[in-house]
Amino acid sequence: MATWNMFSFQDAVSPIMEQLIMFHDHTMMILTMITIAVIYMMSSLIVNKFTNRMLLEGQMIELIWTLMPAMLLIMIALPSLKILYLLEETNKPLITLKAIGHQWYWSYEYSDLKKIEFDSYMKQTNSILNNEYRLLESDNRIILPFNIKTRILVTSYDVIHSWTIPALGIKIDGSPGRINQGSILSMRPGTYYGQCSEICGANHSFMPIMMESVNMKSFNNWIKNYS
């Protein structure tokens, strides 16, 4: 989860988030190279006093500074298209979870698992424990098995919300009358936090998302105990 003075990404717990971090580093490397080159050329132009009164055109340099940006754009576009298709990949999910945004809480449905349904509200400050996080804990958390592909369906009951867990690299808008889908594949057990990322009203800041990733045996026991 995010901590104080943290400027980097959260640790990736899904293949999608790993790809997003690598794409970020790849793009930042290209931008850094461009910035250094531009600063060097501007500095050299400012420092030297040479002029060429007979210079009318420079076809070679114009060809170079036309082709190089095109090549750099291709180097950025290809991996971004790959990630775009990976984000939309939801083939053969074993579990389907539906998240419905309300003002101001989330409700969840495991439609294909004994019709499990529950609401998830933020825990009040006076009810959280010493080892829990203020504004991030919820009374009912999502339970999902790790290394199992899950489809997430997001919609809204009233206004536009956004279901987001940064560590999983997932952010899906929930719009009234429309269902958007994405995929979740957690690679390790743990508890992951998120919040609504769309300004949805006065209590927008109090819509936490809390997901616990467990092994398959614990997940089956949770289903049995819930019913």
Q: Which of 213, 185, 179, 209 is nearest to 197 (CA)?
A: 209
140 and 118 in a common domain: yes
- Report the percentage of the chain scoring pLDDT > 70: 99
8 falls within a domain = no
* Residue 175 near residue 156, CB atoms below 8 Å: yes
Q: Residue 28: pLDDT above 90? A: yes
129 and 78 in a common domain: no
Q: What is the mean pLDDT of the segment spanning 193-202?
A: 90
100 falls within a domain = yes
Q: How many domains, in total, are found in the chain?
A: 2
126 and 72 in a common domain: no
* Residue 184 near residue 13, CB atoms below 8 Å: no
208 and 99 in a common domain: yes
Q: How confident is the model at residue 60 (pLDDT cuts 50, 70, 90)?
A: confident
113 and 200 in a common domain: yes
Q: Residue 32: pLDDT above 90? A: yes
Q: What is the mean pLDDT of the segment spanning 142-165?
A: 91
Domain enclosing residue 39, as ranges: 15-48+58-88
106 falls within a domain = yes
104 and 67 in a common domain: no
What phi and psi, each to the nearest 5 degrees, are found at residue 226? -65, -40
4 falls within a domain = no
Q: What is the mean pLDDT of the segment spanning 110-125?
A: 85
176 and 84 in a common domain: no
Average pLDDT, the chain: 88
Q: Residue 227: pLDDT above 80? A: no
Q: What is the mean pLDDT of the segment spanning 74-89?
A: 87
pTM (2 d.p.)? 0.81
149 and 83 in a common domain: no
